[in-house]
Structure 1
Amino acid sequence: MTVLGAVCLPQLPPERLRDLARTADAAGLDELWLWEDCFWGSGVATAAAVLGWTDRLRVGVGLLPVPLRNVALAAMEIATLHRLFPGRVNIGVGHGVQDWMEQVGARVDSPVTLLREHLIALRALLAGEQVSVDGRYVRLDAVTLDRPPATPPAVLAGATGPRSLRLCGEAADGTILTASTTPDGVREARLLVEEGRTAGGRTDPHSVTVYLLAATGPGADERLAAELRRTGDDPELGVAGDARTVAEAVQRWAEAGADTVVLQPTLDEPDPEGFVRFTAEQVRPLVT
């Protein structure tokens, strides 16, 4: 069955997050996804808060920019979340927005090399291994987590370009695709991920998560069109309408190869709590 989630955009003030999280939990939402966008707020801090405020809700962070995070620190934070809230956490890592990385002095010459080194070290640390590496960007000297998760968790990676998508297949346990991905784009990404999995000798499961821009309620068509103009995306991307219309779009992306579809509201969504209720209570029953 397709997993259905919703995004809590980082533009939502932190003091409103508890009400939204509890609304999502009570409504039965499968997953609530959070972003670590510069310079809005911490993905790990908000994830911990949401997990603590809720009882069953799964929380995804998509994604942590690896140029901002030493891999040992990332492993410590991720391990802590998994030990505190086992089975309820999905963490993704990725290149980050390069302009933002340059703003903070963290931009690297080869983002793909950094992501590869980070993924390999991160997965090994979370598996409880002692890691020593002297890479181009990642350097560790006999580092071992004292309290790794009881079971090595899946580490997801976000990607758009062909090289990064192949790397996801080779070195990550799942792939996160942006809301700029059409159903055909999901199919193409799946093929590139599989190329990477073959090259890396991977035979374990590999999930694909995709964001889907969505709007409902009064003015939905206009809000969606304005958002697509703002992002410069294909006018055919996204979906606006009632629950059945949105569910049919979710099915199209799922049939293209997405295991998890995460509905992403427009920046001007007037009712974030209503959006997660709509996703859980009206769209979820129509998605198989």
Structure 2
Amino acid sequence: MSTRWGMTVPLGGVPLAEHAAVFAALTDAGFTDLWSSEVAGTDAFTPLTLAAAWQPRARLGTAITPVFTRGPALLAMTAAALAEAAPGRFQLGIGASSPVVVGDWNAADFTSPFARSRDMLEFLRAALAGEMVDREFETFRVRRFRLERPPATPPGVLLAALRPGMLRLAASAADGVILNWLAATDVPRALAEAKSDRPGFDVVARIFVCPTKDAAYARTVGRRMIAAYLTVPAYAEFHRWLGREPVLAPMWTAWAAGDRKGALAAIPDEVVDELIVHGSPEQCREHVARYAEAGVDVPVMALVPTPELQQGGAAALGELITGLGRP
């Protein structure tokens, strides 16, 4: 198979220091990739640094590292260090993130996200190639910076993208695109904008997976996640562009009025079922495979806690990993 098979790490409920066994189990089950995120849990790089040492067969990636929360040189140094630790196995995914993560939590200005993403992408590609960067970008100025330890194999730099402008930027200037919060049926529309003939251009998708046969539980959790994410302006505009305004407008209206319960109740089951993969591990694996059939090179699961996982401990997690493994 040309499609890789990814999991978001670290897994909830397992201490980071105990992830050597988790990484091994994931690799044994056919997961080729371990991808991290960076919101309010671990940072994006520490779990992958451990994975680089503990699981030399795995490919690694960040999905995503925000372009506002580190300075250009620090982001380049961090990426270069991980690329040196995992030669040829690491891809750096960057993205704008959100006003909450950037402004409320990291005391940075969330301004001109498109321009900042473009500038950081251009800077990183030059810096990671070992070039001296001395340039006035639109959103920052870098004076005579060169990595002391440029990686022998520079990591690919992928860009997270939702709507046409960022999707086209990824296609023209990045080594791949990272998709998020979309259904398998939405992938062709996104890729119609992110057309690229670049060799090795990767399409990565982060997919929320709630592996439980309790559909009511999965839909309850899914509604909370959808209300939390898709009321963020960037994601709301994304789903308007995808054509979901008729089904999501009642949620947006209730949310804007401060009616949180009403917003949750307004989300139809079919929307939850499209955006949150749920069912038995085998059903989830089959659903995730539809993303690959639609054009995703690296479907990356992000596990949502379930009663089975919370009650079953390590044994249940091991069975789940096997059940979700690459077909």
TM over 0.5: yes
Structure 2 unpaired stretches of 5+: 231-270
Residues 84 and 258 of structure 1, relative CA distance in 2, 3 Å threshold: same
* Shift in Å, 1:45: 1.9
Partner-residue secondary structure (3-state), 2:287: helix
Equivalent residue number for residue 14 of structure 1: 16
Distance 2:131 2:94 in 1: 20
Match of 1:72 in 2: 73
Q: How does 1:241-252 map to 2 (within 5 A)?
A: 241-252=279-290
Task: Give, in whole Å, the separation in 1 of the partners of 2:130 and 2:178.
Answer: 25
Gaps of 5+ in 1: none
Q: Which moved more, 1:232-241 or 1:169-178?
A: 232-241
Distance 2:282 2:30 in 1: 18
- Taking structure 1 as the reference length, the TM-score comes to 0.86
1:125 and 2:167 aligned: no
The answer as to whether partners of 2:66 and 2:96 remain within 8 angstroms in 1 is: yes
Is the CA contact 1:186–1:253 (under 8 Å) kept in the aligned structure 2?
yes
Query: Percent of aligned pairs with the same residue?
Result: 28
Which residue is 2:320 aligned to?
278
* Structure-2 separation of matches of 1:276 and 1:262: 18
Question: Cα–Cα, structure 1 residues 124 and 23, in superposed 2: closer, same or farther, change >3 Å?
Answer: same
Q: Which residue in 2 is equivalent to 1:153?
A: 155
Measure how far apart 1:257 and its partner are: 1.1
Match of 1:226 in 2: 220
User: Any idea what the Cα deviations from partners look like across 1:221-269, whole Å, max 9, x if unmatched?
Assistant: 2342122201227222232233442232122111211011112211445
Q: 2:200 aligns to what?
A: 205
| Correspondence for 1:255 | 293
Deviation at 1:86, TM superposition (A): 1.0
| 1:17-74 CA distance string (max 9 Å, x none) | 444334324444211221111x322111221122222232222221111100111111
How far off is 1:11 after superposition?
5.3
TM-score where L is the length of structure 2: 0.76
CA separation in 2, counterparts of 1:152 and 1:15? 28
Task: Give 1:23's match in structure 2, choosing from 10, 22, 25.
Answer: 25
| C-alpha RMSD over aligned residues | 2.4
Partner of 1:187: 188
Name the amino acid aligned to 2:41. W
- For residues 273 and 323 of structure 2, the distance between their equivalents in structure 1, rounded to whole angstroms, comes to 23
Change beyond 3 A, Cα 1:217–1:227:
closer
d(CA) in 2 for partners of 1:264, 1:91? 18
- The structure 1 residue matched to 2:211, chosen from 216, 227, 249, is 216
- The one-character-per-residue Cα deviations of 1:80-125 (angstroms, maximum 9, x if unpaired) are 1111111222221111121121112212320100000000000111
Number of residue pairs aligned between Structure 1 and Structure 2: 276
* 1:46/1:247 CA distance change after superposition, 3 Å: closer
Corresponding residue of 2:53 = 52
Runs (4 or more) in structure 1 with deviation over 4 Å come to 9-13, 271-277
SS at match of 1:205: coil
User: What amino acid is aligned across from residue 206 of structure 1 in structure 2?
Assistant: F
